[in-house]
Amino acid sequence: MRTQVAIIGAGPAGMFLAHLLRADGIDAVVIERRDRDYVEGRVRAGVLEQVSVDLMTRLGLDDRLRREGLVHGGTNLALDGELFHIDMAALTGGSTVTVYGQQEVMKDLFDAVAPRGLEMVWDADDVRLHDLDGDAPFVTWTKDGAEQRLDCDFVAGCDGYHGVSRGSIPADVLKTFERVYPFGWLGILADVPPAEHELIYANHERGFALASMRSATRSRYYIQCALDEKIEDWPDERFWDELCVRLGPVTAAKVVRGPSFEKAIAPLRSFVSEPMRWGRLFLAGDAAHIVPPTGAKGMNLAVSDVTMLGEALRDFYGHGSETGIDGYSVRALARVWKAERFSWWFTSITHRFPDMDGFSRRLQMAELDYIRGSPAAQKTLAENYVGLPLEAA
């Protein structure tokens, strides 16, 4: 088998890239370790920046998003139960975010696979990348016990944090940068109407809480928890009680309780690996970087990476120019690091750290109070939250 671009991984990065290349007439094959149900079933964040909405639109995959997505022009912060609103649209000249779950995005991307003739390999075991530093790279894997081989011009490593792609870059080339946070998020989904029309990021003495949603009838709530916490110790009633304390009495009165149908703990991490290109390999999405979920940048960063990579490959195949592929890593990392900075900062002002003393707690309180009172501070938050522009190549 031969193709132009072998895409490893069918998460948001791999699938958006596959559709982008298809639209530009570039051949690609997506090789995924799991099956569609597994990839689509994973519950992740659900806030799309304008760049992500724009890409869905450009690909003609925005039908359901337009009908079902909730457009938010603002968000709320809370300090010890007291809410204040950030009017993001007014602060950014009209930018908004759209609440639409990653599961819905994946469904739209997968539903368009057959009609658009995308080539997919599911259930590929033992995927390996070969000769990435030469002119003729290839990928091998086993499926149903038989070894398979795909020759290609380029490999796009879109296989997430635990994939094989990043590790194919020699150790003396790869640089990694990391922060591990001393807490996780315990998240639930429940078919109850959301407490508030827009999201609430709450800093409370007892820890962070987030009120989010998937629709007018489905809520997504999170509370910060210790890393060694056990799901079994968090029956629904305990979760709702703790959430209500952290959101404060005014919001708590609006929280509608109901049985959760999903409950999981996720650790928080910041991670970047450089470079994002080595020889014929490009990394995109979680394969190259992880952000803590505060601010919901994970999927949006995968989208901005592959938008840039798509442009670079289009220039290469369309005009024989290598400028785009040569500049990809630097261009992508410039945006990645700004999103890393924002996600780290937003996490650090909203969470309770185990070693926090009175001084650092008061700094957090002062920072939130400053944001409440300063249009300049609100503008900085807003322009990062709605997503920074994709700077020119």
Q: Is 45 in the site for ligand PHB (CB under 6 A)?
A: yes
Which of ligand PHB, ligand APR, none binds 8 (CB below 5-8 Å, type-dependent)? ligand APR
Interstrand relation of 281-283 and 277-278 (parallel, antiparallel or unpaired): antiparallel
- Tokens describing residue 166: 């990043």
Closest CA to 254 of 187, 296, 198: 198
- Whether residue 385 lies in the annotated active site: yes
Q: Is 212 in the site for ligand PHB (CB under 6 A)?
A: yes
- Whether residue 293 lies in the annotated active site: yes
Q: Which residues contact 23 (CB under 8 A, 6 or more apart)?
A: 58, 59
Could you give the count of Cα atoms lying within 13 Å of 287 in the half-sphere of its Cβ? 32
Q: Is 268 in the site for ligand APR (CB under 6 A)?
A: no
Which of ligand APR, ligand PHB, none binds 137 (CB below 5-8 Å, type-dependent)? none
What is the x/- site pattern for ligand APR, positions 69-108, by CB under 6 A?
----------------------------------------
CA atoms of 341 and 384, how far apart (whole Å): 10
The H-or-E segment that residue 110 falls in is: helix 102-111
Sole window of 160-168, 217-225, 252-260, 359-367 interacting with ligand APR (rule: CB under 6 A) = 160-168
Which of 4, 27, 34, 130 is close enough to bind ligand APR by CB under 6 A?
A: 34
Q: Is 347 in the site for ligand PHB (CB under 6 A)?
A: no
What is the x/- site pattern for ligand APR, positions 116-145, by CB under 6 A?
--------x--x------------------
Which of 12, 46, 74, 248 is close enough to bind ligand PHB by CB under 6 A?
A: 46
CA atoms of 368 and 373, how far apart (whole Å): 9
Q: Which residues contact 259 (CB under 8 A, 6 or more apart)?
A: 190, 236
Q: Is 69 in the site for ligand PHB (CB under 6 A)?
A: no
* Percent helix, percent strand, percent coil in the chain, to nearest 5: 40, 30, 35
Q: Write the CA distances from 217 to 64, 190, 256, integer angstroms.
A: 17, 9, 10
Sole window of 154-162, 258-266, 270-278, 287-295 interacting with ligand PHB (rule: CB under 6 A) = 287-295
72, 204, 289, 351: the catalytic one is 72
CA atoms of 345 and 353, how far apart (whole Å): 13
Which of 14, 81, 295, 387 is close enough to bind ligand PHB by CB under 6 A?
A: 295
Yes or no: say if 338 and 44 are a contact pair by the CB < 8 Å rule.
Answer: no
Which of ligand APR, ligand PHB, none binds 160 (CB below 5-8 Å, type-dependent)? ligand APR
Which of ligand APR, ligand PHB, none binds 220 (CB below 5-8 Å, type-dependent)? ligand PHB
Q: Which residues contact 43 (CB under 8 A, 6 or more apart)?
A: 101, 102, 103, 187, 189, 262, 264
3-state secondary structure of 239: helix
CB of residue 158 vs ligand APR: minimum separation in angstroms?
Answer: 5
Which of 118, 210, 223, 302 is close enough to bind ligand APR by CB under 6 A?
A: 302
- Whether residue 162 lies in the annotated active site: no
**Which residues are known catalytic residues?**
72, 201, 293, 297, 385
Binding footprint of ligand APR on the chain (CB under 6 A):
8-14, 31-34, 39, 44, 124, 127, 158-160, 162-164, 285-287, 298-299, 302
